Amino acid sequence: MDSVGSTNTEAKKLFFQQEKEGLIVIAKRQTAGRGRKGRPWLSPIGGLYFSIILKPRLGTENAPLLGLLSACAVARSLAAVGVENVRLKWPNDVLIGESKIAGILSEALSIGDETVGLVIGIGVNQNCPISEMPPGLQWPTTSIIDEIGRETSIEYLLCSIVNEIDRLLQILERDSSFAAVLDEWREVSSTLGVRVRIHEEGKTTDGIAKDIGADGALIVETDDGLVNVLLGDVSHLRTRE
């Protein structure tokens, strides 16, 4: 599409009009792009914005884990186009250093109480230099063009990410387990081993990020013992211990 409010919202609408698993909605720009926690996602022309409908055989209650899986796919694809030092910040921010280059919004598709599918929405700052982004960025941000100094093909990056997602989904179905995906996430994570601040339900707690659980929760060692964070936000406090 040339322009749409949000590819995630469009994909959801199409899903309920009987579109099948694998449908991808891609737009050149979004006018109401959405990030996690209801934040806006600035989406000028030059970025990659797409959403894919999935119905994983392992159960659609796994939205957080499929977000992690997609983050691994984006990390590999960015490396494949020449971006260096790609790291993942829990749950699925894609960073270069501490600057965000891509984000993922996974949303459940529900009929009544039953989750029947997922929409995975992926936004990559690709060919839009950060100096030309509209004001309103909430954190340090970078783009592929800022990192490697040249334009890259949006179609190529889209295909690469989708192929990587497909590869990881096949591993998931072969093993009937997320273990291999979680190992891949651990390898590229910049969160593990780092002192973090958890922001959850209006309160903050500090601790060391120790690991990621089988459900995708971040396991943090705090003064009060181990805490599993599944829905909160996390900031890095930078000192690796």
Compute the least distance from the CB of residue 37 to ligand BTN, in Å: 7
Using DSSP, state whether 207 is helix, strand or coil: strand
User: How many residues line the site for ligand BTN (CB under 6 A)?
Assistant: 20
Among 69, 73, 83, 105, contact with ligand BTN (rule: CB under 6 A): 105
Tokens of 91: 């749950």
Distance CA 32, CA 148 (A): 28
Rounded to whole angstroms, the Cα distance separating 114 from 29 reads 32
Tokens for 190? 């910049």
Contacting residue, 67, 121, 216, 232, with ligand BTN by CB under 6 A = 121
Is 62 a binder of ligand BTN (CB under 6 A)? Answer: no
Beta sheet of 218-222, edge-to-edge order: 225-229, 218-222, 203-212, 194-200, 233-240
The answer to whether residue 46 forms part of the interface with ligand BTN (CB under 6 A) is no
Residue number of the CB atom closest to ligand BTN: 103
Binder to ligand BTN among 7, 77, 160, 190 (CB under 6 A)? 7
Which two structure tokens, joined as six digits, stand for 13? Answer: 């609408």
The values of phi and psi at residue 174, to 5°, are -65, -45
Shortest spacing between CB 190 and ligand BTN, in angstroms: 15
Query: Contact 114/153 with Cβ under 8 angstroms?
Result: no
Element (H, E) at 172: helix 154-175
Interaction between residue 106 and ligand BTN (CB under 6 A)? no
Of 63 and 222, nearer to ligand BTN (C-beta) is: 63
Handedness of CA 24, 34, 131, 146 (dihedral sign): negative
Q: Which is nearer to ligand BTN, 30 or 142 (CB)?
A: 30
Contact flag: residue 91 with ligand BTN (CB under 6 A): no
Does position 49 interact with ligand BTN (CB under 6 A)? The reply is yes
Query: Would you say 27 or 172 has its CB closer to ligand BTN?
Result: 27
Strand duo 203-212 + 93-96: pairing: unpaired
Q: Which spans of this chain sit near ligand BTN (rule: CB under 6 A)?
A: 6-8, 30, 33-36, 39, 41, 49-51, 93, 103-105, 121-123
